[in-house]
Copies of this chain bind each other. A is one copy, B any other.
Amino acid sequence: MESKNSKIKVAVLGATGMVGQRFIQLLENHPWFEVAALAGSSRSAGKKYKDACRWYLEGDMPAAVADMQVLPAAPPMPVQLVFSALPADVAVDIEAEFAQAGYTVCSNSSAYRYDEDVPILIPEINAEHLELLELQKAQRGWPGRIVTSPNCTTTGAVFPLKALDDLFGVEKVMLVSMQAVSGAGYPGLPYLSIIDNVIPFIGGEEKKLELEPRLLLGKMQAGQRISAPTVISAQANRVAVSDGHTICLSVKLNKTAEIEEVKHALQNYAWPQDIQELPSAPKLPMILREEDDRPQPHLDRGAENGMAVSIGRLRACPILDLRLVSVVHNTLRGAASGSILNAELLKARGYLD
């Protein structure tokens, strides 16, 4: 095992929020990374982390960060890589400053997620999009770089879509999500708003869900990402669940496929060997449940430490071709853990040398 001193030092921007806390929790005993700096808003900066932050997660705040002083979210910082859990409106400037100052930024925000020269990355899905970093360097001249993670619901949907697209081509997708409350951060939704209720609206979400899978399924061509031609219709709902988004999908394929072939495609999804060996990689990124009534967020969100997407209810659709249900842990696979896996891929592929 490496000595602690040889770990790569990282910072967490937006460290007091819910995703920031997840980063800290997940990085506590990470074999490659070590939290060396925490940044927060002007309200937090200057305080000790334990005084600036109300810890929301189960278990106690890791002792190693409790007395760390919260810094303003700006370079320089004594780190090599920066995880950003910033809101999009402030991320747009701050993430650029860090990239400009030579840092590698792994971002959960949507600030740069849709730019043609910024990878929106899930290692098991589109690692080859890292090639966009050359375009990014060419266009922006940054000594550092920005890599982004997709929206949490996109993440849950795109795994089965990718497996299907590889073999049969995905032409159309009807998507209805039932999203957990933690997706709105903390404090997020008041109890009185969501208990005994469904809210059939999440601001801005449907637009993201209709675009992001097309980017993730895009093919690289001459250093550029060509979006997939898939047409997506999304309906986003908030339900009374703490963690774990459930997604009902109906899919039209380019090429006819029997349910058994689809099953086979999902169970035998191929992904690069080097990614399978990353510390946070799941053994399988997709788990196919055969029970009638699975996946369920309560039972399946924790699969493979929250890194595996669970899929079930595979069956034909009388209108499109195929129906299925997907469950993803939105604050792990769909947020903090997903970004950490991105960082691990960057390290493994030499971007942090």
Which residues on A are within 8 Å of B, measured CB to CB?
A: 56, 58-59, 172-174, 176, 178, 181-182, 186-201, 203, 210, 231-233, 235, 237, 239-242, 246, 248, 250, 292-299, 302-303, 312-313, 317-320, 323, 325
- Contact assessment for B240 and A191 in the assembled complex, using a CB-CB cutoff below 8 Å: yes
Contact A323 B235 (CB under 8 A): yes
Determine the distance from Cα of A189 to Cα of B189 in the docked complex, in whole angstroms: 9
Query: A182-B192, A189-B190, A248-B237 given as contacts; is B297 within 8 A of A197 (CB)?
Result: yes
Q: A2 CB to closest chain B CB, in angstroms?
A: 26
Task: Please name the residue on chain B nearest to A243 by beta carbon.
Answer: B196
Tell me which residues across on chain B come within 8 A of A188, comparing CB atoms. Answer: 190-192
Residues of B within 8 A of A318 (CB): 210, 231-233
- Docked pose: A239 CA to B231 CA in angstroms: 28
Quick check: A200 and B250 within 8 Å, CB to CB?
no
Question: Which B residue sits closest to A301, measured CB to CB?
Answer: B58
Chain B residues whose CB sits within 8 angstroms of the CB of A197 once the complex forms:
241, 296-299
Contacting pair B198 A187 (CB below 8 A): no
- A202 nearest in chain B by CB position: B293
Asked if B237 contacts A240 (CB within 8 A), the reply is no
Given contacts A58-B298, A196-B195, contact A250 B187 (CB under 8 A): no
Tell me whether A200 and B240 are in contact in the complex, defined as CB-CB below 8 angstroms, given that A192-B186, A319-B233 are known contacts.
no
Q: Knowing A233-B250, A237-B248, A250-B174 are in contact, say whether A191-B195 is a contact too (CB < 8 A).
A: yes
**A172 and B323 contact, CB distance less than 8 A:** no
Q: How far is the CB of A261 from chain B (nearest CB, A)?
A: 20
A-B contact pairs, 10 of them (CB 8 A): A58-B299, A174-B174, A195-B196, A197-B296, A198-B296, A198-B297, A231-B318, A233-B318, A235-B248, A240-B241
Q: Are B172 and A181 interface neighbours, CB within 8 A?
A: no
Q: CA separation between A250 and B173, bound complex, in Å?
A: 12
Q: Which of chain B's residues have a CB closer than 8 A to the CB of A174?
A: 174, 250, 319
Q: Are A178 and B302 in contact (CB under 8 A)?
A: no
Q: How far is the CA of A200 from the CA of B196 in the complex (A)?
A: 17
Taking the nearest CB of chain B, how far is it from the CB of A282, in angstroms? Answer: 14
**A186-B190 in contact (CB<8A):** yes
Inter-chain CA distance A23–B173, complex, in Å, is 42
